[in-house]
């Protein structure tokens, strides 16, 4: 029997995401519109709406739907923001961000991720996105500042250069700390090098390339 993707999508929104304290109507709407099943590998299509992290390759994963919902809600996007996403992955969160903001620039170290995400976003009719291949922790440099920066892989500590890409009043959302007890944190740029920090929840994600904890030597 063929899977009813529309029903599965609504069940995901109503029975997984909403009970996880995601109550923002615009966030629930975009999660109910973007076809998540088109952003996963074909062999995982039947698991597109399951409460699991799906493998993407390169030891990366696609966030659980509930975590994606909390990430999008925490950003409080109003539709006018210029967004930078570090870690394109499948392109699903990119599509959701694009549906909630004015424009998204998304960078990923893996060229195959960028190629696949580009095809998926085009097929989904998402036009307000620019994709770039780059290593953001040490190398890649944007040409402008952003209202919002989203880091979709974990970092042991937030690289200072990321903070320098925010406009005054801008917001940075990242999963920070040591696995398996990392924290989803939101930093708001208050000007003159001051940042207000809010802890959203505890989670666990694979680390962004070159953002892992330093190695500890054991004698």
Residue with tokens 């920066």: 149
Whole-number Å distance between alpha carbons of 28 and 25 = 5
User: What contacts 24+ positions apart, CB below 8 Å, involve 192-196?
Assistant: 195/163
User: 42: which 2 tokens?
Assistant: 């074909």
Whole-number Å distance between alpha carbons of 133 and 58 = 15
Average pLDDT over residues 190-216: 90
Note the pLDDT tens digit of each residue in 39-73. Answer: 999 999 999 999 999 999 999 999 999 999 999 99
pLDDT > 90: percent of the chain:
92
Whole-number Å distance between alpha carbons of 190 and 36 = 35
Domains in the chain: ranges and CATH: 5-203 (3.40.50.150)
Q: What integer best gives the mean pLDDT of the chain?
A: 95
Res 204 pLDDT > 90? yes
Whole-number Å distance between alpha carbons of 5 and 61 = 21
Note the pLDDT tens digit of each residue in 97-135. Answer: 999 999 999 999 999 999 999 999 999 999 999 999 999
- What pLDDT, on a 0 to 100 scale, did the predictor assign at position 185? 97
User: 207: which 2 tokens?
Assistant: 């680390």
């Amino acid at each position: 029997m063929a899977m009813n993707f529309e029903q599965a999508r609504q069940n995901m929104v109503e029975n997984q995401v909403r009970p996880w304290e995601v109550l923002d109507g615009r966030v629930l709407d975009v999660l109910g519109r973007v076809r998540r099943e088109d952003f996963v590998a074909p062999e995982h299509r039947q698991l597109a709406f399951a409460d699991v992290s799906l493998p993407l390759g390169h030891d990366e994963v696609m966030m659980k739907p509930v975590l994606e919902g909390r990430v999008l809600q925490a950003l409080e996007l109003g539709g006018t923001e210029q967004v930078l996403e570090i870690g394109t992955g499948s392109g699903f969160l990119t599509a959701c961000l694009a549906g909630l903001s004015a424009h998204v620039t998304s960078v990923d170290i893996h060229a195959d991720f960028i190629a696949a995400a580009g095809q998926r976003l085009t097929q989904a009719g998402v036009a307000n996105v620019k994709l770039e291949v780059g290593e953001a922790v040490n190398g890649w440099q944007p040409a402008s500042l952003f209202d919002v920066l989203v880091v979709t892989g974990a970092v042991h500590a937030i690289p200072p250069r990321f903070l320098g890409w925010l406009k005054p009043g801008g917001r940075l959302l990242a999963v920070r700390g040591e696995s398996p007890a990392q924290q989803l944190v939101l930093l708001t740029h208050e000007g003159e090098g001051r940042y207000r920090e809010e802890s959203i929840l505890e989670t666990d994600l694979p680390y962004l390339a070159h953002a892992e904890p330093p190695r500890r030597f054991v004698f």
